[in-house]
């Protein structure tokens, strides 16, 4: 176990050390203590290492993650796991705005609530939120899965493409071109796997699925008010 005191040794040294790890590193477990809400912790990692942050963080924690497993024992600021490629990011607390934005792959687990624009422009990432999410979540979401065990705010899935949205609770309103869709057996299997991997105590049959009505793919004057 490598222990790094962020308050004493600084952010630049931490990220340089983590980014220097390769696929065959023997320094596979890292513990970051005294983070004090610092920004951009553990960004740009590209090795199968495990990083535990002992406290809450600021914005862009675990951004551009690839391969690594990053566990935040606290809450996170805006943009956690932004542009994530692979690996796993787990947040024990709440997440601020645009969690998992533009993520291409991997799994983001938020055990508390997520604020507005969760999963905005997601491109293949899987996001599981144990609590609620705020307004404009999954805006222009292109691919991947957003799972919400609680409620969703206004304009869910506005202008989305082919991402799948699963919500167990209520949805305050749907965004443009987002509709409720049939929950078929293959979706139950996808959802069951995601809930198991995220450690969420919920049954797939309790969720509703939402997706694109595909009316905004090409311009149509009859839909002009929705663009």
Rounded average pLDDT per 10-residue block, the chain, 227 residues: 93 95 93 96 97 97 98 98 98 98 98 98 98 98 98 97 97 96 97 98 97 81 64
Q: Which of 96, 129, 156 is the last residue of a domain?
A: 96
Backbone angles phi, psi at 224, to 5 degrees: -55, -35
CA pair distance 17, 6, nearest whole angstrom: 12
Residues 117 and 149 in one domain: yes
Residues 9 and 118 in one domain: no
Residues 85 and 142 in one domain: no
Determine contact, residues 98/78, Cβ cutoff 8 Å.
yes
148 has which bridge partners?
Answer: 129, 167
Residues 51 and 113 in one domain: no
Residues 114 and 31 in one domain: no
Distances (CA, A) of 187 to 36, 162, 176, 178, 208: 40, 14, 23, 17, 10
pLDDT given for residue 215 in this prediction: 85
CA pair distance 195, 129, nearest whole angstrom: 10
pTM given for the model: 0.95
Residues 193 and 120 in one domain: yes
| Buried b or exposed e, range 22-35, using 16+ CB within 10 angstroms | eeeeeeeebbbeeb
pLDDT given for residue 221 in this prediction: 66
Residues 82 and 148 in one domain: no
Domain of 8 in residue numbering reads as: 1-96
How would you list the strands of the sheet with 107-110, edge to edge? Answer: 2-5, 29-33, 50-53, 69-72, 88-91, 107-110, 123-129, 143-148, 164-167, 208-212, 178-181
146 has which bridge partners?
Answer: 127, 165
Question: Which residue, 214, 209, 158, is CA-closest to 182?
Answer: 209
Residues 211 and 123 in one domain: yes
Residues 204 and 126 in one domain: yes
CA pair distance 121, 30, nearest whole angstrom: 31
pLDDT given for residue 101 in this prediction: 98
Residues 16 and 80 in one domain: yes
Residues 62 and 174 in one domain: no
pLDDT given for residue 156 in this prediction: 98
Residue 101 lies in a domain: no
Distances (CA, A) of 90 to 8, 80, 145, 211: 25, 10, 16, 25
Count up the domains in the chain and report the number.
2
């Amino acid at each position: 176990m490598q222990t790094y005191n962020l308050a004493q040794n600084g952010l630049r040294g931490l990220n340089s050390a983590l980014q220097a790890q390769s696929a065959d590193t023997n320094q596979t477990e890292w513990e970051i203590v005294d983070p004090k809400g610092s920004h951009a912790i553990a960004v740009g990692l590209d090795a199968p290492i495990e990083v535990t942050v002992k406290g809450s963080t600021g914005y862009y924690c675990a951004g551009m993650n690839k391969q690594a497993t990053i566990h935040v024992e606290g809450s996170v600021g805006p943009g956690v796991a932004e542009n994530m490629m692979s690996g796993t990011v787990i947040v024990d607390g709440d997440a601020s705005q645009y969690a998992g934005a533009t993520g291409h792959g991997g799994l983001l687990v938020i055990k508390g609530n997520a604020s507005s624009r969760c999963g905005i422009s997601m491109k293949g990432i899987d996001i599981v939120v144990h609590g609620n999410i705020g307004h404009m979540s999954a805006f222009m979401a292109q691919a991947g899965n957003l799972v919400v065990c609680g409620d969703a705010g206004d304009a869910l899935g506005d202008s989305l493409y082919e991402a799948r949205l699963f919500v167990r609770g209520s949805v305050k309103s749907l965004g443009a071109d987002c509709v409720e869709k049939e929950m078929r057996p293959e979706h139950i299997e996808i959802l069951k796997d995601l809930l198991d991997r995220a450690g969420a105590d919920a049954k797939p049959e309790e969720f509703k699925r939402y997706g694109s009505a595909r009316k905004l793919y090409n311009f149509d004057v009859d839909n002009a008010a929705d663009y």
